[in-house]
Amino acid sequence: MRGNTHVRCGERAGETGWKKFRNRAPVRLSLIGAHGRSACITLVERVSRFLVMLPVTGLDSATVTAQIADHVHGLPFLLRKSLTWDCGKEMARHAELTLATDLPVYFAHPHSPWERGTNEHTNRLIREYLPKGTEITINRGYLASIATEINMRPRRILDFQTPAEVFADLLTSANASTG
């Protein structure tokens, strides 16, 4: 039993319908390597579909939480509004992550992949580079090169712009509105 600290996607205060999923970075320890011994974290910004891939050195909750916290501090605010996670044991320490980063963590309902559809689709794209059954590297440069290639692919849902272009526009408009 997870207790009252688990907030599901549909339980976010003041959000209704599909608007509750906008501007969230669905995160998942989603790419598991050969024999479950390696993985990487995927952060996907919802509006632009911009991808950040983070290496993971351990699959336990303490390691995953610490590594997300380390990486989150360097991300633009646009990617730090909240995280949407599936119900894996690796986020058992989600409350510690929220305290360390001021980043609310929400959870998709079990067996509800449509609540993190952007992340599921992005992971399918990543599998072109890291097929199931392969060991996933912890080489940050290699993972970044995969993310860069995916971020440079035009997407129909973005009117054939790339995630990198849309994300840059979002950052520019966010900076213009704050300064």
Single pTM value for the model: 0.78
Tokens in use for 8?
């599901």
- Give the domain extent around 115: 3-178
Helices 94-101/61-72 angle, 10° precision: 20
Q: What is the CATH number of the domain that holds 67?
A: 3.30.420.10
**How many CB atoms lie under 10 A from the CB of residue 129?**
16
Distance (Å, rounded) from C-alpha 73 to C-alpha 55?
16
43 with 27: CB under 8 angstroms? yes
Q: What token pair was written down for 60?
A: 């336990």
Nearest of 45, 104, 40, 101 to residue 74 by alpha carbon? 101
What 3-state DSSP class applies to 81?
coil
- Is the distance from CB of 91 to CB of 78 less than 8 angstroms? no
Closest by CA to 61, choosing from 42, 88, 81, 43, is 88
In the chain, how many domains are there? 1
Per-position pLDDT tens, the chain of length 179: 344 455 554 554 444 443 444 444 544 445 677 667 788 888 888 889 999 898 888 888 888 888 888 888 877 776 677 787 777 777 788 888 888 888 888 888 887 777 777 888 898 999 999 998 888 888 999 999 999 999 999 999 999 999 999 999 988 886 655 55
DSSP notation for 148-168: HHHHTS-BGGGTTB-HHHHHH
Q: Which amino acid is present at 35?
A: H
